Structure 1
Amino acid sequence: MTSTVNKTAHPFDKPRLEALLNRRFFYAPAFEIYGGVAGLYDYGPPGSSLQANIIAEWRKHFIVEEHMLELDTSIMTPAPVFETSGHVARFADWMVKDAKTGDVLRADHLVKNVLEARLAGDREARGLAAAPPTEDKKKKKKAAKTTAIKLEDEVVAEYEAILAQAGALPLLLYPLQARRSGPLDNYSGADIWELCRKHNLRNPDTDNEVGEPQLFNLMFTSSIGPTGQHPGYLRPETAQGHFLNFSRLLDFNNGRIPFASAQIGRSFRNEISPRAGLLRVREFTMAEIEHYVDPEDKRHARFNEVRDVKVVLLDRHVQEAGKSSAQEITIGEAVDKGIIANETLGYFVARIYQFLLKIGINPQRLRFRQHMANEMAHYATDCWDAEIHNSTGWTETGHPLVVRQALKEPIVFEREVAEWDKKTLGKTFKQDAGVIQKTVEAMDQEQLVKVKGELAQGKAVITSSEGKQFELSPEVLTIERKTIKQSIREYTPNVIEPSFGLGRVLYTLLEHSFWSREQDVERGVLSLPPLVAPTKVLIVPLSAREEFDPLVKEVSSKFRKAGIFARVDDSNTSIGKRYARNDELGTPYGVTLDFASVQNRTMTLRERDTMDQRIGSIDEVVGVVTDLVNGNIEWEEACQRLPAYDGVQAIE
């Protein structure tokens, strides 16, 4: 029998985990000796191996098992590609600057962090339940000035209404639920500016006022060629490489749909203020799939294989009702009830769930959140984020699962396009700027032509859906006829797009795996599954005497031939400390060669989490470990194959 592991003996300690990851060089800030650059990280040996193992399983789970067509497309991309796709115009976030220091902050995060901090202070002042342990209390105190300021009821209601527009779950009303991160989708830059002024939102790090929001494009610009005549960008995602090669992929697949393309590669985003470790970085590895389906038939041939898989779903109707109660439901029932749009989307939700559990994500901290209408791209019919809970709240694993259609041939057409001077618009119309933009952008071509003619005469009057009239001048709005090259048909979706930010998956996996033993709180344990653990087996010779050398070489060779990565620790420290050091690295198994091994060719086997030890012949132990690492057996079966080690077999 194996002993029970109590991983909840000590609460999660994020600083201790971060110290472990830094000390054991899982990853570290890049260019650290030169001061470092926020949002850029180097992976050390264990981090590189962990990421490589996650990628290997991703390739097996999706590319191999689903017969996907793998791509490796160019990172450097000519500007016209992203001009056509809309990235140049729309791939941006609002930012604000500290009025005194010039420090830059992402505007939506400033609003959310300060308001949530104030609400947390209000809860403390009212003596209500404490915030969840995932909250960074020190940061919240700083942002709120104090942790115990009681707010007027109408102020609390207004703050919560603002946060609801950000897609934030009502954390302070439902303390067991945590928020997700995301933009203030219903707010323009002018709206955010009005919020900052109305609610006196300041930089929480300095308590200084902030300036008016500015739109900042997140793509890294570059140039192609020695004279710079060809402007370009580092890709912010890998999707364009899929779509630009669609006709070739279709031909490779003998003209048949459905099929899927897959790609693993680097992407780059010039984040405004990356402060969340691997959760928000400027250079990252993406694993992305584009699964093409017939728009008239979104059934999936293997759907019945996942119909009974249970997942936790937070659908849009629950969120729109101001609630946060997720439900556990089978994929089949979710599709039958229309909660998930179709079989193909449901199939990939289930497959992603299975993948994340396989690499070690805690199923109790995993859910799928459906995008609300104001979050989805206008071409999307349904959209879900796989969200994993960690110390910062609920974090999506990457881009959403989006249904959309890629065209075999681009459509070229002319249309009237509204162009805004957003700075003048915001100064002139303040909180109404967002309403004005939405009113004009909802107009059809005939209406835009009419407004264009009026602007040519000096002014144009528009009426919002609420009946409010606004007088616009050419200084605020111009309407020009432009040639549009459309590569994605935005109104008839037929692509399922599962996408992973692997750094986010890797970090949340480390959080979920980290714990401490009661007898050694200062030294942590990473309970990484053997499937992804950087090192599978630690070989520990009891002595550095020469008679151990042949056995160490033999055991190493046997593991190597079995395809299992093993390391030898023959340092002169105690066996206990050697095992503890490798518990920090997530090594699931250890084998010890003692003096009995030299005479009897026996070897002990230790399991990381329980510290349970078994004994058998060298070949028996190697065979058991091979089966454990390959997932053929669990530890309980290993205990049936190998007797318990009672410590008396070793001889001096």
Structure 2
Amino acid sequence: MENKLRELFVNKLEIIEIESPIIAPSKVFEASGHVEHFKEPMVECLKCKRKFRADHLLRENTKITASEAEKLSLEELKETIEKNNIRCPECGGTLGEPKYFLTMFKTTIGPYSDAVGYGRPEAAQGIFVEFRRLYDLARGKLPFGAMQIGHALRNEISPRQGLIRLREFTIIDLEFFFDPEEPNCFLLKNVGEEKLRLVLVENRLKGSEEPVEVTVKEALKKGYIKAEWQAVFMALAKNLLIELGVPAEKQRFIEKLPWEQAHYALQSFDQEVYVERWGWVEVSGHAYRTEYDLKRHMQFSGVDLRVFKEYEKPVEKEKTVIRPIMAKLGPAFKTEAAKVAEMLSRVDPEKVEDALKRKGWYMLGKYKILPEYIEVTHQKNVERGKRFIPHVVEPSFGSDRLVYVTLEYAYHIKDGRVILRFPRDIAPIQVCVYPLVSKDGLPEKAFKVYKMLVDEGFVVEYDEAGSIGRRYARADEVGIPLGITIDYETLKDDTVTIRDRDSWKQVRSVIGELPELLHKYFRKKIDFEDLGNPLKD
């Protein structure tokens, strides 16, 4: 699964893949906003001391929806729990006061108790922290992207739903950096006519989750999606799920309501897949993070993360400059004069000049600045470019959830037999080799074929136990796309039978041609019928 995303993003789009630490200092997550915002409402049973997500209890015991529960304050959660007489689901005890619980794992770094760190709840922050190096690696040019596949940790209050909600899971975060003044995506021409099923905020606020089906170009033209790059990644994500076996009609992109929106996002869509047990399940998130993360890391680290953009032609601009007159600031502010001068160096000179013209003074915090305290000058400068903070769009995938939905949609029954129809390019086992019978030199010949394919890099299983029909059935159940049978004909002409898992069709092929044919087949360069001469049923 992870290699499939690498193929899509790293190999085809030349996205940079990195690996950063799972644990980072508290300062990183203070800058990202996670320490302040990454919290969930929790209640404790006063009797058995079990703890639960307060909003989840409301969803399970009332008609309140997930989005409605998410926007309730702690006081509103308390009132709703009491009004509906919601009790502990384990022992029936009374529930205590709701409070917020930080869902990041907290630790200390090294032997110092004050050196607080957190396990990362997402892989994105490692990319933002390394932005300057990544920008250099991209030869100082925008746009470019960086991706990270790795473990993330979330200290869930009461995780349920198996693979759907875990405390430790694999996340695939991709941060794509671009110039907001040049937001056009060169990939739009490839996916512009792809259709997306969008559940829009305006409809959700009216109580409807009926999707609107539009092309990518229409979604951008109508303003449903704010950034071209975001729309393109959504189209790529839709097609990825189709390749994993999920039909387009079983997918949707649901736009986040204002109170559901992550603290860093201007606009977000969750890509959801319908599964039999849980209903609509998020498999990827698509957020337009603007300059939020880089700007915050600049503020907290003091490192300039702006990039330089050269103008086509030099531009002459007039710049307003203010210079504190210490001979005036000293008598006026005495011991605080130096502090006032330093504060003046950080304000917008044009705002100061405008206030002095309109009111005759400018309030700098609690300090009243009069015209005689400063000297205002206007300088003409030739600018060859400017510095700015890039914007970011982020597609983020849950690897475990992708595996879950792939398993569900791969599960089929044919003539009373289970077939796991994994897409051939992600099947855990690619080929199973069988001797038709366990005698007459067939096992020895089959093992040579098995060894040859292993040496060629294929993931192969060897099976000679039981009847050939039972062996085929076992392979179908675990999703092995191809079966290669060595029979008595093989001993005569070095040909084998290749069986297709899904159709049960068979072809005859020469052993010496197998490596090249199978490499092409698993890379989707050829179809099953191209592997050899067809055999009659």
Q: TM-score, normalised by structure 2?
A: 0.78
Q: Kindly tell me: are residues 354 and 371 of structure 1, through their superposed partners in 2, closer, same or farther at Cα, counting changes over 3 Å?
A: same
Tell me if the contact between 2:27 and 2:300 (Cα under 8 Å) persists in the aligned partners. Answer: no
2:56 paired residue number: 109
Return the offset for 1:62: 0.6
Instruction: State which of 389, 396, 420 in structure 1 corresponds to 2:282.
Output: 396
In the TM superposition, what whole-angstrom CA distance separates every residue of 1:90-113 from its partner, at most 9, and x where no partner exists?
211111223332222211111111
1:644 paired residue number: 535
Return the offset for 1:402: 2.9
Q: Given residue 42 of structure 2, which amino acid in structure 1 is its aligned partner?
A: M
Alpha-carbon distance between aligned partners in 1 of 2:93 and 2:535, rounded to the nearest angstrom: 64
Q: Kindly tell me: are residues 326 and 401 of structure 1, through their superposed partners in 2, closer, same or farther at Cα, counting changes over 3 Å?
A: same
2:6 paired residue number: 59
1:368 paired residue number: 253
Alpha-carbon distance between aligned partners in 1 of 2:396 and 2:494, rounded to the nearest angstrom: 49
Return the offset for 1:515: 2.3
Alpha-carbon distance between aligned partners in 2 of 1:497 and 1:581, rounded to the nearest angstrom: 41
Return the offset for 1:561: 5.0
Alpha-carbon distance between aligned partners in 2 of 1:257 and 1:494, rounded to the nearest angstrom: 10
1:537 paired residue number: 431
In the TM superposition, what whole-angstrom CA distance separates every residue of 1:588-635 from its partner, at most 9, and x where no partner exists?
111111222223323212111222233343345665544322201233
Return the offset for 1:557: 4.0
Name the SS for the 1:299 alignment partner: coil
Name the SS for the 1:397 alignment partner: strand
Instruction: State which of 18, 25, 35 in structure 2 corresponds to 1:78.
Output: 25
Return the offset for 1:232: 1.2
Alpha-carbon distance between aligned partners in 1 of 2:121 and 2:148, rounded to the nearest angstrom: 14
2:16 paired residue number: 69
2:382 paired residue number: none
2:392 paired residue number: 495
Q: Given residue 642 of structure 1, which amino acid in structure 2 is its aligned partner?
A: N
Name the SS for the 1:410 alignment partner: helix
1:596 paired residue number: 489
Alpha-carbon distance between aligned partners in 2 of 1:71 and 1:222, rounded to the nearest angstrom: 24
2:250 equivalent to 1:303: no
Q: Given residue 340 of structure 1, which amino acid in structure 2 is its aligned partner?
A: I
Q: Where has structure 1 moved over 6 Å in runs of 4 or more?
A: none
Alpha-carbon distance between aligned partners in 1 of 2:503 and 2:70, rounded to the nearest angstrom: 47
Alpha-carbon distance between aligned partners in 2 of 1:412 and 1:599, rounded to the nearest angstrom: 74
The structure richer in strand per residue is 2
Name the SS for the 1:111 alignment partner: helix
Name the SS for the 2:238 alignment partner: helix
Return the offset for 1:340: 1.2
Alpha-carbon distance between aligned partners in 2 of 1:591 and 1:189, rounded to the nearest angstrom: 62
Q: Given residue 507 of structure 1, which amino acid in structure 2 is its aligned partner?
A: Y
Alpha-carbon distance between aligned partners in 2 of 1:398 and 1:212, rounded to the nearest angstrom: 33
In the TM superposition, what whole-angstrom CA distance separates every residue of 1:553-608 from its partner, at most 9, and x where no partner exists?
3322443354322211122x122222222222111111111222223323212111
2:298 equivalent to 1:410: yes
Alpha-carbon distance between aligned partners in 1 of 2:402 and 2:4, rounded to the nearest angstrom: 13
Alpha-carbon distance between aligned partners in 2 of 1:412 and 1:87, rounded to the nearest angstrom: 14
Alpha-carbon distance between aligned partners in 2 of 1:644 and 1:403, rounded to the nearest angstrom: 56
Instruction: State which of 67, 72, 81 in structure 2 corresponds to 1:196.
Output: 81
2:239 equivalent to 1:339: no
2:39 equivalent to 1:89: no
Tell me if the contact between 1:114 and 1:204 (Cα under 8 Å) persists in the aligned partners. Answer: no
Q: Kindly tell me: are residues 339 and 633 of structure 1, through their superposed partners in 2, closer, same or farther at Cα, counting changes over 3 Å?
A: same
**Fraction of identical pairs, as percent:** 34
Alpha-carbon distance between aligned partners in 1 of 2:60 and 2:103, rounded to the nearest angstrom: 21
Q: Kindly tell me: are residues 303 and 373 of structure 1, through their superposed partners in 2, closer, same or farther at Cα, counting changes over 3 Å?
A: same
Q: Given residue 59 of structure 1, which amino acid in structure 2 is its aligned partner?
A: R
Tell me if the contact between 1:525 and 1:585 (Cα under 8 Å) persists in the aligned partners. Answer: yes
Return the offset for 1:261: 1.1
1:215 paired residue number: 100
2:407 equivalent to 1:510: yes
Alpha-carbon distance between aligned partners in 1 of 2:23 and 2:264, rounded to the nearest angstrom: 26
In the TM superposition, what whole-angstrom CA distance separates every residue of 1:311-337 from its partner, at most 9, and x where no partner exists?
222111221121121122211111111
Q: How does 1:415-430 map to 2 (within 5 A)?
A: none
Q: How does 1:226-265 map to 2 (within 5 A)?
A: 226-265=111-150
Q: Given residue 84 of structure 1, which amino acid in structure 2 is its aligned partner?
A: A
2:527 paired residue number: 634
Structure 2 gap ranges (5+):
302-365, 367-387
Alpha-carbon distance between aligned partners in 1 of 2:212 and 2:94, rounded to the nearest angstrom: 42
Name the SS for the 1:516 alignment partner: strand
Tell me if the contact between 1:335 and 1:343 (Cα under 8 Å) persists in the aligned partners. Answer: yes
In the TM superposition, what whole-angstrom CA distance separates every residue of 1:215-270 from its partner, at most 9, and x where no partner exists?
11111111111344422111111111111111222222232221111111111111
Return the offset for 1:512: 1.3
1:547 paired residue number: 441
1:584 paired residue number: 477
Q: Given residue 537 of structure 1, which amino acid in structure 2 is its aligned partner?
A: V
Alpha-carbon distance between aligned partners in 1 of 2:430 and 2:467, rounded to the nearest angstrom: 21
Alpha-carbon distance between aligned partners in 2 of 1:331 and 1:569, rounded to the nearest angstrom: 48
Alpha-carbon distance between aligned partners in 2 of 1:289 and 1:79, rounded to the nearest angstrom: 22
In the TM superposition, what whole-angstrom CA distance separates every residue of 1:629-650 from its partner, at most 9, and x where no partner exists?
2201233x448x422244xxxx
Tell me if the contact between 1:381 and 1:493 (Cα under 8 Å) persists in the aligned partners. Answer: no
Worse-matched range after superposition: 95-104 or 363-372? 95-104
Q: Given residue 569 of structure 1, which amino acid in structure 2 is its aligned partner?
A: D
Return the offset for 1:349: 0.8
Q: Kindly tell me: are residues 510 and 303 of structure 1, through their superposed partners in 2, closer, same or farther at Cα, counting changes over 3 Å?
A: same
Q: Kindly tell me: are residues 263 and 580 of structure 1, through their superposed partners in 2, closer, same or farther at Cα, counting changes over 3 Å?
A: same
Larger radius of gyration: 2
In the TM superposition, what whole-angstrom CA distance separates every residue of 1:379-429 from its partner, at most 9, and x where no partner exists?
53321111111120111114442332143761269xxxxxxxxxxxxxxxx
Tell me if the contact between 1:404 and 1:492 (Cα under 8 Å) persists in the aligned partners. Answer: no
Name the SS for the 2:209 alignment partner: coil
Worse-matched range after superposition: 258-267 or 610-619? 610-619
Instruction: State which of 163, 173, 176 in structure 2 corresponds to 1:288.
Output: 173
Structure 1 gap ranges (5+):
1-53, 116-158, 169-183, 414-480, 482-490, 647-652
Name the SS for the 1:383 alignment partner: strand
Return the offset for 1:358: 2.2
Q: Given residue 294 of structure 2, which amino acid in structure 1 is its aligned partner?
A: L
